[in-house]
Amino acid sequence: LSQCEPMDEDSARAIAGMLGRKIDLSRIEERGKDGKKMYKMCKALEDIMEEGVQKGRQEGRREGKEEGRREGRQSDIRNLMESLDIGLEKAMELLKIPVEERKNYGGV
């Protein structure tokens, strides 16, 4: 997107429509040599890509936290089973793991 020519408003709106996105044209507006309003859609596309990257990072963090909690709980279950010489269900009961989540730890 390093080489980007400004375009007229109709073209900019058409591209926004094809992308299915509402784009704030005032953020990418500039004046052409003839004084007409022109729009740098590459800036809008860069913003859209950055938004996608940020959403991906947020999702990755969320998934990483979930995985960390799950691995920690699995470790807790194994340690409790070994330390107290008890079965899986009893360990999950002692750890107060909700019944509906217990199926996630069946392969501890």
Tens digits of per-residue pLDDT, 54-86?
999 999 999 999 999 999 999 999 999 999 999
Tens digits of per-residue pLDDT, 1-55?
557 788 888 988 898 888 888 888 888 888 888 888 888 888 888 888 899 999 9
Q: Which of 52, 37, 36, 43 is nearest to 15 (CA)?
A: 43
Distances (CA, A) of 57 to 65, 66, 85: 12, 14, 41
Which residues lie across from 16 on neighbouring strands?
none
> pTM here?
0.57
